[in-house]
C-alpha cells in the first residue's frame, strides 16, 4: 500500500506530540519539517529521522508527493499557510484555533470546498477517554435535561511567552489559547449545539502585553443550556485544569477532571467514579496519537473530519463574539 507522506509545519512543543503519534502508523512517513529557523527544523528532523528540513513552506507546497500537512505555527500563519496548501492539493490539519478570526476561517473553508480537500482542527479533547465517558453518560440521559455547564481553560501561576502574548501573531490571549479548549469540549459534550448569544468580560491583569489573561464568557446554546467559560494565565488558583468541565442536569451532575458522576437518588445522591486508564500527564500523548490516527484515516477514506471546518468555525465565532461583547459591554447575538 502506498505510504501517506506528511509534512510538519512548525517544530515547536506541540509538534513533538504530533510526530510521536504519526510514528505509530507504519503506513505514514513524515517526509519534511518546516521551521522559521532552519537550525530548529534540522534538530527536529534529526530527532525523528525526517529526511527534509526547510525554513520555508515553498518546497512543501511544490512537492506533489506530499499528501497532507500538520500546521502548528503561530495563529497568524494558519489561514495563509492552509490556503496555500489546499490550493496545491494537500489535506490540512490545523492546530487550534483554526484561524485568527471567523473571517479567516471562512476563507479556509471556501478554498477547501473548491479544491475538495480535507481540513481537521486540533480540538484534541474529543479524543480523550474521560471526555468520552462523560459524553456517553449525557447521551444516555443519566443527567436528565442539561441546563448549565462550567468549563475552565486556566494556567495557575504560569503563562506563556513569545508569540502567544502578541496580538498580531496570536489574535488573542488566554481566551484564544486556553478558552477555546473549554468551549469546544463543552460543545462536544452537549452534542455540538449552535451558539445563539455570547456575553463576556475580558481583561489583562498579570502582564505587560496587548492580549488578555483573564476572561469570563457566558454562552447561550440553541438547546437552552447556558455555559460559563473561564480562561486565564497566571491565576493564583484554578477550579479545574485545562478543559475541566462541570455539567449540570435535572437528574445529576457530571465532572470532567476529576471525572465522576453525581446522580440523584431521592433526596440524596450517588457518586459514581469510573475506572479509567491512568494518565501519564494531563494532556497525555494518547490523545494526540488518536487524533493523528483519525486524521490519517480521513485522508484514506476521504471522510470529512470532525472536528473540522464547521466545528473550528463555531469556536472562532464564539471567540470573536466574546471579544466584541467585552469591548461593547453588551450581549452579542449570533
Q: What is the pLDDT of residues 241-293, one digit of tens each?
A: 999 999 999 999 999 999 999 999 988 999 999 999 999 999 999 999 999 99
Q: In the predicted model, is pLDDT for residue 1 greater than 90?
A: no
Q: What is the pLDDT of residues 53-75, one digit of tens each?
A: 999 999 999 999 999 999 999 99
pLDDT at res. 116? 98
Q: In the predicted model, is pLDDT for residue 214 greater than 90?
A: yes
User: How many CB atoms sit inside 10 A of residue 197's CB?
Assistant: 16
> How many helices and strands in the chain, by DSSP H and E?
11, 15
pLDDT at res. 52? 98
User: With bands split at pLDDT 50, 70 and 90, how would you rate the model's confidence at 119?
Assistant: very high
Percent of the chain exceeding pLDDT 90 equals: 98
User: With bands split at pLDDT 50, 70 and 90, how would you rate the model's confidence at 45?
Assistant: very high
CB proximity list for 275: less than 8 A, separation 6 or greater: none
Half-sphere exposure of 46 (CA within 13 A, CB side): 6
User: With bands split at pLDDT 50, 70 and 90, how would you rate the model's confidence at 295?
Assistant: very high
3-class DSSP state of 287: helix
Q: Over the chain, what is the mean pLDDT?
A: 97
The fold of the 4-123+285-305 domain, in CATH, is Rossmann fold (3.40.50)
pLDDT at res. 190? 98
Half-sphere exposure of 97 (CA within 13 A, CB side): 33
Q: What is the pLDDT of residues 23-35, one digit of tens each?
A: 999 999 999 999 9
Mean pLDDT of the region 165-180: 97
Q: What is the CA radius of gyration of the chain?
A: 20
CA separation for the pair 250, 160 (Å, rounded): 39
Grid cell listed for 114: 473548491
Q: In the predicted model, is pLDDT for residue 83 greater than 80?
A: yes
Sign of CA dihedral 62, 68, 70, 73: positive
User: With bands split at pLDDT 50, 70 and 90, how would you rate the model's confidence at 155?
Assistant: very high
Domain ranges of the chain: 4-123+285-305, 126-282+316-333
The fold of the 126-282+316-333 domain, in CATH, is Dihydrodipicolinate Reductase; domain 2 (3.30.360)
CB proximity list for 26: less than 8 A, separation 6 or greater: none
State pTM to two decimals: 0.97
CA separation for the pair 289, 24 (Å, rounded): 8
pLDDT at res. 2? 87
Q: What is the pLDDT of residues 299-330, one digit of tens each?
A: 999 999 999 999 999 999 999 999 999 999 99
Q: Please answer whether residues 216 and 326 qualify as being in contact, where contact means their C-beta atoms are separated by less than 8 angstroms.
A: no
Amino acid at each position: 500500500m502506498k505510504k501517506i507522506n506528511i509534512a510538519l509545519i512548525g517544530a515547536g512543543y506541540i509538534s513533538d506530540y504530533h510526530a510521536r503519534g504519526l510514528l505509530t502508523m507504519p503506513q505514514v512517513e513524515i517526509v519534511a519539517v518546516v521551521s522559521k529557523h532552519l537550525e530548529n527544523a534540522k534538530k527536529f528532523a534529526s530527532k525523528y529521522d525526517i529526511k527534509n528540513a526547510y525554513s520555508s513552506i515553498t518546497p512543501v507546497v511544490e512537492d506533489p508527493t506530499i499528501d497532507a500537512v500538520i500546521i502548528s505555527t503561530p495563529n497568524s500563519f494558519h489561514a495563509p499557510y492552509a490556503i496555500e496548501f489546499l490550493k496545491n492539493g494537500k489535506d490540512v490539519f490545523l492546530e487550534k484555533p483554526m484561524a485568527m478570526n471567523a473571517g479567516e476561517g471562512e476563507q479556509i473553508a471556501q478554498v477547501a470546498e473548491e479544491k475538495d480537500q480535507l481540513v481537521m482542527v486540533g480540538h484534541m479533547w474529543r479524543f480523550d477517554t474521560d471526555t468520552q465517558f462523560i459524553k456517553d453518560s449525557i447521551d444516555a440521559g443519566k443527567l436528565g435535561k442539561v441546563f448549565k455547564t462550567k468549563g475552565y481553560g486556566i494556567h495557575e501561576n504560569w503563562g506563556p511567552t513569545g508569540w502567544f502574548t502578541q496580538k498580531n501573531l496570536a489574535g488573542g490571549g488566554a481566551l484564544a489559547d486556553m478558552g477555546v479548549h473549554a468551549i469546544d469540549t463543552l460543545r462536544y459534550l452537549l452534542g455540538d449545539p449552535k451558539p445563539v448569544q455570547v456575553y463576556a468580560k475580558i481583561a489583562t491583569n498579570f502582564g505587560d502585553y496587548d492580549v488578555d489573561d483573564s476572561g469570563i464568557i457566558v454562552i447561550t446554546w440553541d438547546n437552552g443550556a447556558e455555559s460559563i467559560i473561564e480562561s486565564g494565565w497566571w491565576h493564583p488558583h484554578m477550579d479545574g485544569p485545562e478543559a475541566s468541565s462541570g455539567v449540570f442536569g435535572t437528574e445529576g451532575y457530571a465532572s470532567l477532571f476529576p471525572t465522576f458522576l453525581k446522580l440523584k437518588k431521592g433526596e440524596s445522591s450517588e457518586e459514581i467514579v469510573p475506572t479509567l486508564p491512568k494518565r501519564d500527564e494531563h494532556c497525555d500523548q494518547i490523545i494526540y496519537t488518536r487524533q493523528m490516527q483519525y486524521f490519517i484515516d480521513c485522508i484514506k477514506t476521504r471522510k470529512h473530519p470532525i472536528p473540522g471546518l464547521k466545528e473550528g468555525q463555531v469556536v472562532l465565532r464564539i471567540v470573536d463574539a466574546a471579544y466584541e461583547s467585552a469591548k461593547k459591554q453588551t450581549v452579542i447575538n449570533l
